[in-house]
Copies of this chain bind each other. A is one copy, B any other.
Amino acid sequence: MTAIGNNTLNLCKTSYLDLSAKSKCAKVVLLRFRDTELGIGSGSLRSRFPAPVKAMEGSKTTTYVSRSSTGDALTKDSGKISGNGGLQTSTAGNSLNIVWHKCSVEKKDREELLNQKGCVIWITGLSGSGKSTLACALSRALHARGKLAYILDGDNCRHGLNRDLSFKAEDRVENIRRIGEVAKLLADSGVICIASLISPFQNDRDACRALLPDGDFIEVYMDVPLELCETRDPKGLYKLARAGKIKGFTGVDDPYEPPLNSEIVLPQREGMCDSPHALAEIVLSYLERKGYLEA
């Protein structure tokens, strides 16, 4: 532990401003540093670098910290330092200036922390086939088992990430591509990502599958006849489509390509529909058998 005296000596060399967003006036307070204030959990961490002098909590405070005594300053870490903007090249794929930054905490480390394996459960099917309902039931079932799951809902993403996209053909492809990329990031973070979107075309689904390691893309096909989806019509969209008020509606005047290689197929027929819980249990059972519910 660096003595307070040393910390004070170092103040002239550099400072770190810890500013909360609300207030404009900075209040500078020096406090004695104690391990308990920082609450560092790892002994190795504590020994690796001297702790900063902690500032008093307030609307706007300034924290001064001491220089590291280990000597491994930023300037010695060349090659790790990132820059992402300011390059002229047109696409990352063609650019030598965009470097992949690896970090010592890997996917497997996060999986061990969570005691699960990050993966993508991709639920595809017609509007009204029960994708979101299954996603929610599965999310509940996984949470009840202490597993971290997160739903990427096609509709919800249209409010945020994909709000710039229309429903014309190329934008639908881009909508699915982006959700596939985000699902990949979530799986890489260790989360069991449940993606729920019509994704009517085999090519688009397969492109998302190809982003992930073998086995980690688990396609769930809601095999529900159009007639049954149309009977349900929970949002009244089929009615609008039949009335010609929505053009290019999947199943009505735009095709849905049933998946050829889904890991799980969930058929539902008129009068023979299982509960969302029962459907979720089938997916859960698959994940269990394939080892995704442990690290």
A105-B143 in contact (CB<8A): yes
Contact A148–B110 (Cβ < 8 Å):
yes
Total A residues in contact with B, Cβ cutoff 8 Å: 162
User: Nearest CB to that of A24 among chain B residues?
Assistant: B261
- A136 x B103 contact (CB < 8 A): yes
> A278: which of B18, B52, B215, B281 is its contact (CB, 8 Å)?
B52
Interface string of A126-153 (1 = CB under 8 A from B): 1111111101100111011110111111
Which B residues touch A41, using CB under 8 A? 144-146
Q: Is the interface of A mostly helix, strand, loop or mixed?
A: loop
Q: Does A90 contact B (CB under 8 A)?
A: yes
Most B-side CB within 10 Å, residue of A83, A272, A276, A288: A83
Bitwise interface map of A from 176 to 191 toward B, beta carbon under 8 Å scored 1, else 0 = 0010011011101111
The answer to whether residues A38 and B158 also contact, given A21-B263, A113-B143, A189-B150 and a CB cut-off of 8 A, is no
B49/A85 in contact, CB under 8 A: no
Q: Which residue of B has the minimal Cβ distance to A63?
A: B282
* CA A274 to CA B75, docked complex, whole Å: 9
Q: Which residues 79-120 of A have a CB within 8 angstroms of B? A: 79-93, 95, 97-101, 103-105, 109-110, 113-114
Tell me the nearest residue of chain B to A249, going by C-beta: B86
* Known contacts A52-B278, A73-B275, A139-B105; A144/B251 CB under 8 A: no
User: Closest Cβ of chain B: how far from A160's Cβ, in Å?
Assistant: 5
